[in-house]
Chains A and B, each alone.
Chain A
Amino acid sequence: MSVLSEDLKNRIRAFIPKYPRKQAVTLPALHLVHDELRTVSNEAIVEIAEILELHPSEVNDTMTFYAFFKGEGEKLGTTRFWVCRGLACMLRGAYELIEHCEDKLGVHCGHTTPDGKITLEFAECIGACDGAPACLVNDVHAMNVTPEKADQLITELKLK
């Protein structure tokens, strides 16, 4: 049985006409699958490769280059919570903030809370240096994040 729904496959196919080659749809396809399934399993890789007329190893090669994507055996929580540790954030307390979030969530960076709600990660500069220390909640910036603000964000995410 297919791991990608027909709707998801159609959304991947919709990208094909935008590019001169089907392989260029690899990143858009990985994003779509990753967003929906919270992982890109080996079966999903095979199915993406079929749509794009590639060998599965080509999709796998690209996917594993970007540490962003979670592969076989890994799964993201409902929300990704990144704490930036870039220089501007480090100077304004990012390391303390990472430790605080690890304590608060009870997991180290790279891991998901047992209830599956939040995956905590560190990021290498998210381009929000005017609001350092900054976090990224999925793909939305949270600026000037104090430990209190982090607690509030985490509480809101846990309620969802």
Chain B
Amino acid sequence: MPTYEPVLLARINKPNSGKLEGYRADGGYATVERALKELKPIDVVTQVKDSGLRGRGGAGFPCGLKWTFLPKDHPGPIYLCVNADESEPCTYNNRILMEKDPHQVLEGIMLACYAIRSQKAFFYVRYEYGDAFRALESAVAEMYAAGLLGKNILGSGFDLDIVLHRGAGAYICGEETGLIESLEGKRAWPRIKPPFPAIEGAFRKPTIVNNVETLACVTQIMKRGKEWFQSLGVPPDPKNPRDAGSYGPKLYTIAGHVEQPCCVELPMGVTVRELVEKHGGGVWKGRKAKAVNPGGLSMGYLNVNTKLKDSDLTEYDIPLDFNGPGRVQCLGLGTAAVTVIDDQTSMIDVLHNTCQFFSHESCGQCTPCREGTGWMLKITDRLRRGLGRKEDLDVLVDVADRIGIMPGTTICGLADGAGWPVKTAIRKFREEFEAAIKSGAKSKYAKSLAMAGAH
């Protein structure tokens, strides 16, 4: 593959990359200025729709299509909510964009708001991103001072305000209706859909919720054209009628047992092996990988030693596009956050940590999720204490299969996300789990309070 020149991350290493002056010197805000003067909102919608941009927040829903769901000729207000509550473990791509190149994201917000005829964007940033929040605060202040926000922007007649809003450390605020409820000042309980936010969202008005990286992509699509975006990535799989293709660049984050955890920008479709070996510096301490979580905890696990059907390749060679991880029983691409687990790590510890996360972060609104995630945590806790029973593995898979939006028992997808790692870990590493149950071996963390479910 020829070397790819980053676009979304092109400016992050420049000194003062977050300053308006530097951004303008690199051609920043020329795109939105041109759009405001020369294009109609529908032209922006069409260009983004035709580019094939799919949301980068995890679900991969086509961005331009989402915008078209807004009611036609609505008198307003219409809102944009920017989802920066990136809380999926091992995912930090949005943080890099916000900290290092906030204006690229803010220009994307301007373009999106112009396209959807919104005059107000609420930028919901998770609490833990203090530096990102301050970078955005300073960038927004610069924009107001330069007339890029407020009334009659650049003499175009377009008005826009951006309100920065801080979360309070809750994973569920990354779910779009949970985010809206939280923004409104309530507990972040996801809403039953329909109505979808595009019809009735924040403050009961039509609302679009977009991820930070998605909006940075909007900036680049409007700057470079839809053809540029489509020239990168992977076209739809003809064998999969539901695949809408995976176009454009993607920010991949690499974490866990690699020598150099990092965030890299590459065209969609790069393999896990290439990411780990070429960009992550390989598995740490000269060890071998055993498992990989390909896109945030909720996507499930790959067994890097499992051969793919009719091939010499293994699950390590799965391409990370929207269609790839699904071919090996994972939920999907998710956030393209790759976590590597080395061969000296117990999958029981990994799964316990995963269950602990989802149990802690379940909002508690739906009984199957609240109870199911807690049940899975209790079982994995038993396993790591060396007290596992032989039926535990089947019970775990059964619980994981029965909670969640797929069987239709919960409002949002958190329970599905909690189930997928359980199902894949047990299906793909069953021997290891069975051996541990048989031997009654305790995890090295079994006595640690740090691993207790609560305190």
Q: Which A residues have a C-beta under 8 Å from some C-beta of B?
A: 18-21, 23-28, 30-31, 52, 58, 61-62, 65-69, 85-88, 90-92, 94-95, 98-99, 102, 108-110, 122-132, 136, 138-141
Contacts and interface: CB of A to CB of B under 8 A. Distances in A.
B345 interface: yes
A56 to B, nearest CB: 13
Contacts of A128: 92, 95, 128
B261 A131 contact: yes
Contacts of B74: none
Interface in B169-208: 169-171, 182-188, 203, 205
A31 B166 contact: yes
Interface of B: 77, 86-92, 95, 126-131, 133, 161, 163, 165-171, 182-188, 203, 205, 253, 255-257, 261-263, 293, 297, 337, 339, 341-342, 345, 349-350, 353-354, 356-357, 360-361, 363, 445, 448-451, 455
A140 B134 CA distance: 11
Contact of A94 (B205, B263, B450): B450
A99 B425 CA distance: 27
B166 A124 contact: no
Contacts of B163: 18-19
A95 B450 contact: yes
A65 B181 CA distance: 12
A84 B350 CA distance: 15
Given A20-B205, A28-B165, 6 more contacts: A19-B163, A26-B186, A91-B256, A91-B342, A102-B449, A127-B92
B186 A123 contact: no
A87 B339 contact: yes
A85 B350 CA distance: 11
Contacts of B360: 124
A113 to B, nearest CB: 16
Contacts of A69: 168
The 7 A-B pairs at the shortest CB distance, nearest first, are namely: A139-B130, A26-B185, A65-B187, A98-B450, A129-B255, A23-B185, A88-B255
Contacts of B95: 127-128
A129 B89 contact: yes
Nearest to A141: B131
Contacts of B354: 87
A140 B131 contact: yes
A105 B297 CA distance: 31
Contacts of A126: 128
Contacts of B357: 86-87, 124-125
Contacts of B86: 127
13 contacts: A24-B184, A65-B187, A85-B450, A87-B350, A88-B255, A88-B261, A99-B448, A122-B455, A125-B89, A125-B171, A128-B95, A139-B128, A139-B133
Max chain B C-beta neighbours (<10 A), residue from A19, A23, A52: A19
B187 A91 contact: no
A141 B96 CA distance: 13
B190 to A, nearest CB: 13
Contacts of A85: 353, 356, 450
Contacts of B185: 21, 23-27, 52, 58, 62
Max chain A C-beta neighbours (<10 A), residue from B86, B130, B171, B263: B130
Nearest to B352: A90
Contact of B168 (A24, A30, A138): A30
B168 A91 contact: no
Given A24-B183, A25-B185, A27-B166, A129 B91 contact: yes
Contact of B165 (A27, A65, A138): A27
Max chain B C-beta neighbours (<10 A), residue from A20, A94, A125: A125
A20 B187 contact: no
Contacts of A127: 86-87, 91-92, 95, 126, 128-129
B341 A91 contact: yes
Given A18-B163, A85-B353, A95-B445, A132 B187 contact: no
Given A20-B77, A87-B256, A99-B448, A129 B184 contact: no
